[in-house]
Amino acid sequence: MLCGAYQGAGSHEPIDFPAFQGLGWTLRRPPDKLALTGFCPKTGNQEVHVILMSSQLSFTGFAWRNLWRRRLRTLLTLCGIGMAIGAFVGLVGFSRSFEHEWLRMYLSSGTDIAVVQQTFLNTSMDESAGVTLRALPCVAQATPMILNLMDLTQDVNALAYGWKADSYEFESLALKSGRRFQDGQPEVMLGDLLASNLKKNAGDTLEIQGSLFTVAGIYHGGSALEAGAVILPLDQMQKLGSLQGKVTAFHVRLRPAPPGETADRYLARAQGQIEAALPGLRAVPAAERASNNQIVLLAHAAAWGTSSIAMLIGILGIANTMAMSVFERTREIGILRALGWQRWRILLLIQTEAAALGLAGGIFGIAAGWSALRLLAALPQTSSIVSASFPVLLLAEALAIAVLAGLAAGAVPAWRGARLSPVEALRHD
C-alpha cells in the first residue's frame, strides 16, 4: 500500500506525499490533469478520480468548470437572482420616478416651503394658521391644501387635491377646456390624463363618495401627479372628509431673497421664522417634502419590501447551489487540500463561484428591470409617471446588492468546504 506521485506524462520519478501514507492511493499528474488511482478501503475496488485543471490551478478555471458542469442548475439559479434584482430595479426605479414627479410639481408651481404638522400621526392642522403665516415678512403667498387618495370608480382611483379657487398653484396649470371651479360649489377640475381615463369632458358630472360634482374644466398639469389628479374646492374636500376647518398643509411661496443673501441662507431663515411663529408646525423645503411625504415613503417602502422578499428567494437559490456543489465535490476538495491548498484558498474558491453567480444574475436582472421600466414608460397609463432613464447610482446599487447576496449565500457552504479533512474527503462516497 505504497503511495507515490509521478510528475509528467511518462515520468516515473516519484514525489513524496506523506499526507497520503497508508491510504493505498497513487497520484499521477499529466500536463493537463490530476489523476488519483488506487483501491478504495471501503469497497476494495480500484477507483480513478480525474480532475481537469490548468497548470496553475487558477481560481477562475475551477469556478468556471464547476458552474458549467451543472448548467441547468446554474441557469435556474441565475434566473432566481436575476428576477430578484429585476424586481429591485423596476420597483425602486418606479418609486424614484414617483418622487421626481413630486419635485416637478413643487418646482412648476413655485412652491418653496410646505408647512406641515411636526408629528407623523397627526397629519392635519387648523386652517386658521394661514392668517399668521401670511403676516410674516418673508412670505409672499400661502395657500392651504388637502391631499387624499380617492376611488372615483371601481377601476380608477386618483390623487385628489383640495385647493382654494384663488390658489397661486393654478398658475402652473394650462386650462384646456371649461373654466376654473368656484369655492363653495360642487365642482371639480380634472387633469387631462384622468379625464381621458374616465371619458369625461367639461360639463359632465362625476360621482365622488356618493356626491355629484360637475366637471368645471379640464387642465394639463405641470407634472404627472397633477395631470392624473382631480382638484376640488377646499371646502368641498373638507366636507367629504369631515375635516371642517382642517387642512393637510400650507404651500408657501417666499418673497425674493434680499440682495447679498444666498438662496439657501434665505430659505433657512424663512424656515426659522415660520416655525417660531407657528409652534408645533414644521416648515419643510419643497425638495425635502417631495422625498419625505407619506405617499412617496409608502411607495419606497413597498418597493424595498417586495424587492427584499424576492432577494431572499434568490439568496436561498444560490445557497442551495453552492451547498450541492460542495457536497458533490467533496473528494475534489480533499485532493486540493492534499496538494497543499490551504483552507482560506478553498473558502475563496467557493466564494468566488458564489460571487460570480450573483454578478451574472445581477447583470441579467438589470437588463430585465430596465426592460420593465421601458415598457411602463411606453404605456399610456404610466408613461407620464415612469421614466426609462437609468441612474448610474441605481445600477451600482443593483450590482452591489447582487454580489453581496452571492457572498452571503455562499458563506456557509464555503465555511463547510474549507473545514473538510483531506482524509475524510477522499473516503466520501
Rounded to whole angstroms, the maximal C-alpha distance in the chain is 104
Tell whether 107 is covered by a domain: no
Q: What is the mean pLDDT of the chain?
A: 78
Tell me, what's the pLDDT at 313? 82
Task: Check pLDDT > 80 for residue 262.
Answer: yes
Confidence of residue 427 (pLDDT cuts 50, 70, 90): low
Task: Check pLDDT > 60 for residue 134.
Answer: yes
What is the average per-residue pLDDT within 192-197? 87
What is residue 217's three-state secondary structure? Answer: strand
Residues 258 and 373 in one domain: no
**Do strands 125-126 and 281-285 pair parallel, antiparallel, or not at all (unpaired)?**
unpaired
Cα(277)–Cα(135) distance, integer angstroms:
10
- For the chain, give the number of residues: 429
Residues 175 and 315 in one domain: no
Residues 129 and 269 in one domain: yes
- 345 vs 179, more confident: 179
Cα(286)–Cα(275) distance, integer angstroms:
15
210, amino acid identity: G
Least confident stretch, 14-28, 174-188, 311-325: 14-28
Query: Which of 279, 313, 348 marks a domain boundary?
Result: 279
Task: Check pLDDT > 70 for residue 105.
Answer: yes
Tell whether 356 is covered by a domain: yes
Tell me, what's the pLDDT at 30? 44
Top mean-pLDDT range of 12-21, 148-157, 311-320, 398-407: 398-407
Residues 71 and 40 in one domain: no
Task: Check pLDDT > 50 for residue 9.
Answer: no
Tell whether 287 is covered by a domain: no
Tell whether 309 is covered by a domain: yes
Residues 85 and 232 in one domain: no
Task: Check pLDDT > 50 for residue 193.
Answer: yes
Q: Which residues lie across from 51 on neighbouring strands? A: 34
245, amino acid identity: G
H or E element that contains 96: helix 71-109
Cα(31)–Cα(417) distance, integer angstroms:
27
Tell whether 111 is covered by a domain: no
Residues 155 and 257 in one domain: yes
Please give the order of strands across the beta sheet that includes 14-15. Answer: 14-15, 5-7, 25-29, 33-39, 46-52
- 58 vs 241, more confident: 241
**CA-wise closest residue to 283 among 133, 424, 409:** 133
Tell me, what's the pLDDT at 350? 80
Using an 8 Å Cβ cutoff, are 366 and 90 in contact? no
Cα(168)–Cα(166) distance, integer angstroms:
6
Specify the DSSP class assigned to residue 34: E
Distances (CA, A) of 138 to 16, 252, 267: 89, 10, 9
Q: Which residues lie across from 157 on neighbouring strands? A: 151
Using an 8 Å Cβ cutoff, are 246 and 124 in contact? yes
Least confident stretch, 138-147, 266-275, 292-301: 292-301
Residues 21 and 92 in one domain: no
Residues 275 and 136 in one domain: yes
Residues 141 and 275 in one domain: yes
Query: Which of 52, 73, 89 marks a domain boundary?
Result: 52
Least confident stretch, 50-59, 81-90, 169-178: 50-59
Percent of the chain residues past pLDDT 70, beyond the cut: 78
For the chain, how many structural domains are there in total?
3
Least confident stretch, 26-40, 69-83, 224-238: 26-40
Tell me, what's the pLDDT at 18? 40
**CA-wise closest residue to 281 among 109, 103, 130:** 130
172, amino acid identity: S
Confidence of residue 209 (pLDDT cuts 50, 70, 90): confident
Tell me, what's the pLDDT at 383? 60
Confidence of residue 44 (pLDDT cuts 50, 70, 90): low
Confidence of residue 214 (pLDDT cuts 50, 70, 90): very high
Tell whether 339 is covered by a domain: yes
What is the average per-residue pLDDT within 290-308? 77
Least confident stretch, 8-12, 167-171, 254-258: 8-12
Expressed as residue numbers, the domain containing 65 is 59-97+297-426
Tell me, what's the pLDDT at 118? 67
Least confident stretch, 54-68, 187-201, 415-429: 54-68
- DSSP characters over 248-298: SEEEEEEPPPPTT--HHHHHHHHHHHHHHHSTTEEEEEHHHHHHSSHHHHH
Task: Check pLDDT > 80 for residue 300.
Answer: no
Residues 200 and 234 in one domain: yes
What is residue 28's three-state secondary structure? Answer: strand
Using an 8 Å Cβ cutoff, are 81 and 356 in contact? no
Residues 312 and 385 in one domain: yes
Task: Check pLDDT > 90 for residue 84.
Answer: no
Residues 168 and 311 in one domain: no
What is the average per-residue pLDDT within 33-53? 49
Tell whether 19 is covered by a domain: yes
Burial 299-308 (b: 16+ CB within 10 A, else e): bbeebeeebe
**Do strands 25-29 and 33-39 pair parallel, antiparallel, or not at all (unpaired)?**
antiparallel
Tell whether 129 is covered by a domain: yes
